[in-house]
Each structure stands twice: as structure tokens, then as C-alpha cells.
Amino acid sequence: MTQQPVLTGGVDEAGRGCVLGPLVVAGVSVSRRSESMLRDLGVRDSKKLSPKRRETLYSEILKVCERVNWAEIGPGQIDEVVTNGKKYHKLNHLEAVYFAKVIDELGARRVTVDASDTVPERFGGAIAANLARPCSVVAVHKADRDFPVVSAASIVAKVHRDRQVERLRKVHGDFGSGYPSDPSTRIFFIERMRKGAPLPEYVRKSWKTWARLEQKMSAAI
């Protein structure tokens, strides 16, 4: 009987701060040999890579990792917890639930995650509380920078989110990056708001961005 390799994993998300589209949580699991191969590939925080480089590395990650899994959190789900969630049961908690869903599919004994909470231990504890299978969870700030397995997860999450956003862009027009600091995004939605059009279903209506834009529009009149 061939002994199965002991797997370790990494999980990260993409799109948390965006005003539109899904938030994507992704995870990978690797054997010791596979983890060494990730280092050789030069994986790093997805935000430090060009879209072309992410796509190239994504294909290699799928070949190298033992398991790869991802899940999407839609704008409606995000709006619900941001608007109605109790303290400590808002976006961080929703992410923790989805991190747990992804981890359950990785088959890893130990998983390192990039902590979105200011208190990493609290985020790790929330994930562990939602696991269906036993797994040691370590939550660390900047894990996507310091752990190749989390860097790989970061790339998977970013590529899937970018693909989803590109589909939205083809249907609805060029809204820029979708981040509130992007002038192209702001102009796109200001024009819609000036026409009296409602916010579309693909945006996160609970984001304070919209109230700020409305205030600026009113001040300009």
C-alpha cells in the first residue's frame, strides 16, 4: 500500500475591498516536495504580480499542488452581513465560514491563512469553529508574502476573481478596476447615479462608497 503524503495548506482571499463582484476565497494543499516546487516557481503575493504572470503561475500551481479549491461570496451575501450582522459576525466572520469550507476540501493537517482580522488568533479561532474536519489553523498577517503555499492560494483567488470581473465588464461596460480609489470606477457609477439608475446587483450596496459619492454629487449642485 502506498502511503499518502502528509499535506499542508494555505488559504487567502481576493476582492475584499472592491465595491463590486464576488469576494473569492481559495486554498491549496501540498506535500513537502510540492511546497519546494512552489518556491522554485517563484510564487509571491498576487498583488505584486502582473495579470499575465498570475495566469502563468496559476497553470503551474494547478499542476504542482495536490488539491486546489475555491469559493465565491457574492455581493448579496456581503451586504447582508455588513448591514445586519452582529458585532464580530460581519464580514470577517463570513470570510471565516468560507475559509473553513475551502479548508475542508484540502485534506491538509495544518493550514496557514492570511488573517483579515486585526487579531489573527480570533480569525483563526472562528475558522476552526466552522470546520467539519479536524485541521490545525494558523492565522498570520501578511501570510501571502511570507508563506509560498499562501502565496499560491492568493494567486488562485486573484485569477478567479479577475476572470469573474472581466465577465462583468464585458456585459456592463468598462467600470475600471472596481476599487473605490479608482477614478474610472467612480466616474462610471457617478454617471449612472446622475441618470437616476439604481445600483446594479453586481455591486456591494452596503459599501459607504455610494453614500460618499451621493454627498459629493449633492455638494456639486
The average pLDDT across 195-203 equals 93
Share of the chain above pLDDT 70, in %: 98
Residue 220: predicted pLDDT: 64
Residue 3: predicted pLDDT: 63
pLDDT band at 218 (very low <50, low <70, confident <90, very high): confident
Tell me the pLDDT tens digit for each residue of 56-97. Answer: 999 999 999 999 999 999 999 999 999 998 877 899 999 999
Tell me the pLDDT tens digit for each residue of 26-49. Answer: 999 999 989 999 999 999 889 899
Q: What is the DSSP string of 49-93?
A: S-HHHHHHHHHHHHHH-SEEEEEEE-HHHHHHHHHHPPTTSSHHH
Domain 8-169 in CATH 3.90.180.10: no
- pTM for this model (two decimals): 0.93
- Strand order of the sheet with strand 136-140? 67-73, 23-30, 8-14, 110-114, 136-140
Q: Which of these CATH numbers, 3.40.50.1860, 1.10.10.460, 3.10.105.10, 3.40.50.970, describes 172-220?
A: 1.10.10.460
